[in-house]
Structure 1
Amino acid sequence: MIELRYTGLGFDEQELIDHIKASGKNFMVQGQRIKTLANHTKPKSLDVWLRNRFPKMQDTKLADNYVIDALVETGRFTATKERCPDSGKLCKAIRLA
């Protein structure tokens, strides 16, 4: 279980792994943004995935570095940089281990 800092909320990393695999990729960009969900510029990011899972937090940045570190600590992910499928830019990401 990965806990989101300051929220009291959490998610099972297996759900994230299943989502990443279903996307046909082996990574997901972090995409942390201080924007409303409606104005988020990286809809395929971890930040948007988390916001969609927690409707009361949709306009709050959730995929902070704490979440990335917690995912890496599970041993099931590595922190990396990947080309963002939304912007085409190199971005901080998690990759399946």
Structure 2
Amino acid sequence: MQYTLKKSLGQHFLKDENMCKKITDVIQLALHENKLHHLLEVGPGAGAITKYLLQIPNINCKVVELDEEKINYLEATYSNIQSKIIHQNFLE
């Protein structure tokens, strides 16, 4: 399944896997150090970071996505994400 980059929605996707892993490692450390158990990702796009966030143990991770095409892509690509997607505009 493919998706389209929509600049009208301000979409810019991170593609560097090493950077995604580094970002996720920092997030995981911050969650652990602050004893946090909930995480909200706004605009997961194609899930470059999301796929790693979903692997963090003992964290309730939710994602907010406006773009129906990206939601369909995420659901088709990551089977464990369906109950974690909030389909709405975070800014409203």
Do both proteins adopt the same fold according to a TM-score greater than 0.5, normalized to the shorter chain? no
Q: Which entry has the higher C-alpha Rg, 1 or 2? A: 2
More helix by share: 2
More strand by share: 1
